[in-house]
Structure 1
Amino acid sequence: MADHAQTAIEASAAITSASSKTAVAGGGVSFVGWLAGLDPMTVLGVCIGLGGLLVSFLSFLINWHYKKKEDQRADQLHQIALRKAKGECNVE
């Protein structure tokens, strides 16, 4: 279970890094397009920027989902440890 969560976290970090770079590139292309007055470049830059924003948002949702699962698992382990400490579990 921990391996899957770690893999998801690493993949999410890679996606977040890529989305940040994409957003910066999109902003740069938009700015150059605005300076040059070239409409196709401006549209391309805006599309790239919006794509980077979408990837960032999806990365946030993935992180949130796996963090929630990690918190639930930690809570379950804590409840088991409490029951064991109180002697409610018949575990050696």
Structure 2
Amino acid sequence: MLLVALEVVPWGQTDMQQQQQQQQQQQQKQQQQQQQKKQQQQQQQQQQHNLIIGGHLGRRAAKREIQRRHAAQQNQQTAAAAAAAAAATAATAAAAAA
């Protein structure tokens, strides 16, 4: 008796398309990790700078400066998240079109 093992593949999807999808997913993960690293580095730099500013300025001015930088940082994070989402949707659209 002869047994044959078959790999189950979604209909209409070739090995090349699967490889492309996997590569796109890996690229997305790498991009997200790089963005997270950049954000962490920026946060560390801002915290160090805030400490320096706190020594030079009065308390009110330092608080205002920290709030301003915090708002700017949040804007950067939302922009980075939007860019990551756009890249993900573009990759899925390209995969669907292929």
Runs of 4+ residues over 4 Å off in structure 1: 12-16, 23-28
Which has the bigger relative contact order, CA under 8 A and spacing at least 6?
2
Q: Aligned Cα RMSD in Å? A: 3.3
CA distance in 2 between counterparts of 1:43 and 1:14 reads 30
Identity %, equivalent residues: 6
TM-score by length of 1: 0.51
Q: Structure 2: where are the runs of 5+ without partners? A: 1-22
Higher share in helix: 1
Aligned residues: 67
1:88 is matched with: none
TM-score by length of 2: 0.49
CA distance in 1 between counterparts of 2:92 and 2:36 reads 21
Q: How many angstroms does 1:76 deviate by?
A: 1.4
1:44 is matched with: 65
Q: Structure 1: where are the runs of 5+ without partners? A: 78-92
Q: 1:18 to 1:46 in 2, by over 3 A?
A: farther
